Amino acid sequence: MQKLDEEKIKDFYNSVDNVWGNNDPWHDYSRSVISKYISKKDIFKHSILLNAGSAGNTYNIDCERMYHVDIAEEKIKNMENAIVASIEKLPFEENYFDNIICVGSVLNYCDAFNAISEISRVLKPNGNLIIEFESSWGYEYINTESYKRNACIITTEYIEAQHRQWLYSHKYIFKILSSYNLKIVQRKSFHIADGLLSRICSDQTAVKYTKTLDKFLSHTPILREHGNNIILHCIKKL
């Protein structure tokens, strides 16, 4: 697969104060959904947890020990158990972690095969993985070459800068997870309606309505396929 410029990505995230943007309703909503999803999971206590691509976020997880891995050293320099590394090449032994989280669309900056392979390698059998990513099935990509593509690179504007990232079909990610013995036990789609609403109103208004609409659309099989973001709870099979 084509490689992204890791040094450019690292420099960008080292330079920004808040990786979730500044008063950005789209990313504020993403952070809210991810944080709430994680807070409802009673799986972390007494566990050794890998926070893959953490950017220094803990999500208020109560665990025995959390390891922070990120390529942007400035974001994790004040965290305990911080290691500067790519999630495509994790410096840990096999079956080391009880649980892993990889959220904040970290996967979209990686080769999904390499990243998921490494995540599976260092996760114990019966261990939990919470992973989130941006999907090419999102309504905002309708009428573009990216729509429903298995994997493609797009250029986006974020915090007043142009940068490149991968976009993946959720079906493509599901196949990779399955090939590495990671069974999906729960799925949540969000940012479903705002891809369409943003065509007729401001991004802020679109996100405002999406917060309500997502609660219903995420339970409708056909519509939830078009969530711009997907968060999954997986368990590594024996």
Residue range 68-123, pLDDT digits in tens:
999 999 999 999 999 999 999 999 999 999 999 999 999 999 999 999 999 999 99
User: Residue-wise over 7-34: b if at least 16 C-beta within 10 A, else e?
Assistant: eebbebbeebeebbbeebbbbebbbebb
pLDDT by residue (tens digit) across 151-199?
999 998 887 788 899 999 999 999 999 999 999 999 999 999 998 898 8
pTM of the model: 0.95
**What average pLDDT does range 47-76 have in this prediction?**
97
pLDDT given at position 150: 98
Q: What percent of the chain has pLDDT over 90?
A: 83
The stretches of 83-229 forming alpha helices (DSSP H) are 112-122, 170-179, 194-197, 203-217, 221-224
pLDDT given at position 85: 98
How far apart are the C-alpha atoms of 207 and 204, rounded to whole Å?
5
Mean pLDDT in the chain? 94
Measured CA to CA in angstroms, residue 65 lies from 8, 75, 81, 150, 160 at distances of: 30, 18, 8, 35, 36
> Considering all CA atoms of the chain, what is the largest pairwise distance in Å, rounded to the nearest integer?
50
Q: What percent of the chain has pLDDT over 70?
A: 100
pLDDT given at position 163: 84
**Of 19-23, 86-90, 129-133, 178-182, which range is least confident?**
19-23
